[in-house]
Structure 1
């Protein structure tokens, strides 16, 4: 039986970069037939039609069908995996409250549509920024869907952190294990080298603390802005790659620890209800667990508190706007 994958913002750069890899089997494996449902705003439907034509022209054996719509209820009907990529970008002169309100107009009705129409076993990844809080909005408007089915993406931040550390230490990315990021997908995020390992040894012991705090952390946190400055466009391909990593490992399992933003149940003193990035272990068959008992020293605690406080501020702002209960 095939799986229905709903992708929003399908005509955008991230959606375009992701769709061909999804259709080739890189998302759910080479034995899983898929049906694609592409959700776009009406002005972008024609562009989405063009992408669908290219997908058809690629003759992917696993791709059974493609449906394109601007109706969220249609898009999420029978959805097994939802990849919520489309979001309102921040425009010049836009305050944070304006950005949150604009995204609330997107993710509130999408949450309602997921609640009413998605498959009982649905899994949702929010990519569109501000991803953590957009996931919170969607989750809060889908009261019948278990909270653990809503996640947002910090795998791109993890991938960036792994790559930068590997280059610093002149090792392969495969030599870096259990490097996760905590908190918000924003420049406040905390890449954790105290629980990461490089060639089996603690990563924090292999770097200078000044470099860690004043070079590495800002570079990881602001990498997206650096990409925009360098290429004049956002990091669409690497974001698509991370989204595929996230869903693939959630569905099929993965070794070691990885970063996922999930609803906090109070672990590590992070307020219950926030969508925060945690270290998770991914099991085959679609389950995950937040790994508890990791070392959190004073330095790490101070950085985690900063990023979690930002999440609280965003939560409070969308609550004032009436987007969550």
Structure 2
């Protein structure tokens, strides 16, 4: 045989081997479905999340899943109704759906755990009580994740109350999988895109690279310095990949600096827009990126544990720019011209640090950062009222 012919045969053999291995993996997935657990499954977001998970959009049409709805005993009747509706979807990727109300059995062999907003049985009278009430549940979840879940379990925390805090507490109490616990920031990102789209009279999907810094459900900073809009009708029109910097199109500096900031802070503080649909979409999209990668070249916001990037203090969960690839995420530390003003950074980090210290009992009273800005004070008190409303 000639060398050239041998090379052709070798390539064909390699191709056949790769295809055979893929078939084996597909068969293995059919035998062992992906175990997906949803904690606090009686939350409104779960109702909208299940159809997305069972559509095949998140994990792929060749991956079967088994869903377990985990909540307390009082929610059992509601969960039973949810199980019935889920089965009636007749999804080709859904192997089974079941309920778990026994704490000791939670997260058994879980590959994916989605943590939604939780309720509390405790009577709370102050913000400090709210913060401290998060620790016992996160400690319990951490223990269960360490002892019951699969070694490579992926945990995604979504919701509208104390998202960063719950994520960092789960990392503390489940240290062996801390690198696989993340917080969803796409909801805030979506709110910002919708607001910009209304201002520019375009579609939110055409707006890319909005960066959310800081506390996902609290003090955060919506950074538009890298934000671009595609397919925008203007004097300059280009191919589909052509885009305009958003800041070059909005000439109303008063709107940018004050009105838009106030609107977004109000949405974060009240949680009015972050209900079932947006929460479910944000969680499922983040999970899809985690498994299949984010769109090439796009910036995604994600709550991850700080290791000192961008001058952020270590040991807190902070939303920052990332990209997803190869089953993990990479913080985009090489982005240029995104330095954060020291005052803005202090405003975001001080509250996150204090939330953690109060929750762990290391500090008794929460002292919010005060910049002297009336807007900051109003935002802080609105956030407290919303939290108490949800937990009382």
Which TM-score applies when normalising by structure 2? 0.75
Aligned partner of 2:292 in structure 1 is 252
Superposed, which structure 2 residues align to 1:108-123 within 5 Å? Answer: 108-123=139-154
Superposed, which structure 2 residues align to 1:228-243 within 5 Å? Answer: 228=272, 235-243=275-283
1:212 to 243, 256, 263: 256
2:176 counterpart SS class: coil
Superposed, which structure 2 residues align to 1:280-319 within 5 Å? Answer: 280-283=322-325, 285-294=326-335, 295-297=337-339, 300-319=341-360
* Number of residues of Structure 1 aligned to a counterpart in Structure 2: 315
Structure 1 residue 156, shift from structure 2 partner: 0.2
1:263 to 305, 324, 327: 305
1:186 counterpart SS class: coil
Superposed, which structure 2 residues align to 1:137-286 within 5 Å? Answer: 137-145=169-177, 147-199=178-230, 200-207=243-250, 208-223=252-267, 228=272, 235-255=275-295, 256-283=298-325, 285-286=326-327
Structure 1 residue 171, shift from structure 2 partner: 2.3
Q: Give the number of the structure whose alpha-carbon radius of gyration is greater.
A: 2
Structure 1 residue 69, shift from structure 2 partner: 1.1
Note closer, same or farther for the CA distance 1:273–1:49 as it changes in structure 2 (3 Å cut). Answer: same
Separation in structure 2 between the aligned mates of residue 170 and residue 268 of structure 1, nearest angstrom: 33
1:212 counterpart SS class: helix
Note closer, same or farther for the CA distance 1:59–1:182 as it changes in structure 2 (3 Å cut). Answer: same
Note closer, same or farther for the CA distance 1:105–1:92 as it changes in structure 2 (3 Å cut). Answer: closer
Note closer, same or farther for the CA distance 1:93–1:204 as it changes in structure 2 (3 Å cut). Answer: farther
The answer to whether the 8 Å contact 1:18/1:240 transfers is yes
Structure 1 residue 304, shift from structure 2 partner: 3.3
2:151 counterpart SS class: coil
In angstroms, what is the RMSD of aligned CA positions? 2.3
Note closer, same or farther for the CA distance 1:227–1:276 as it changes in structure 2 (3 Å cut). Answer: closer
Structure 1 residue 321, shift from structure 2 partner: 6.0
Q: For 1:120-168, what per-residue CA distance to the aligned partner results, in whole angstroms no more than 9, with x for missing partners?
A: 22111111421110111111001221x3211112110011111111221
Aligned partner of 2:164 in structure 1 is 132
Are positions 1:71 and 2:115 aligned together?
Answer: no
2:58 to 19, 27, 31: 27
Separation in structure 2 between the aligned mates of residue 181 and residue 51 of structure 1, nearest angstrom: 33
Separation in structure 1 between the aligned mates of residue 111 and residue 53 of structure 2, nearest angstrom: 14
2:84 counterpart SS class: helix
Structure 1 residue 219, shift from structure 2 partner: 1.5
Separation in structure 1 between the aligned mates of residue 122 and residue 246 of structure 2, nearest angstrom: 38
Note closer, same or farther for the CA distance 1:156–1:92 as it changes in structure 2 (3 Å cut). Answer: farther
Q: Which moved more, 1:219-228 or 1:161-170?
A: 219-228
Aligned partner of 2:37 in structure 1 is 6
1:304 counterpart SS class: helix
Separation in structure 1 between the aligned mates of residue 348 and residue 120 of structure 2, nearest angstrom: 21
Aligned partner of 2:237 in structure 1 is none
Separation in structure 1 between the aligned mates of residue 74 and residue 145 of structure 2, nearest angstrom: 23
Separation in structure 2 between the aligned mates of residue 264 and residue 82 of structure 1, nearest angstrom: 22
Separation in structure 1 between the aligned mates of residue 122 and residue 192 of structure 2, nearest angstrom: 27
Q: For 1:200-245, what per-residue CA distance to the aligned partner results, in whole angstroms no more than 9, with x for missing partners?
A: 33323332332122111222232256664x9xxx622111111111
2:96 counterpart SS class: strand
Give 5+ residue unaligned stretches, structure 2.
1-28, 231-242, 364-392
Note closer, same or farther for the CA distance 1:85–1:247 as it changes in structure 2 (3 Å cut). Answer: same
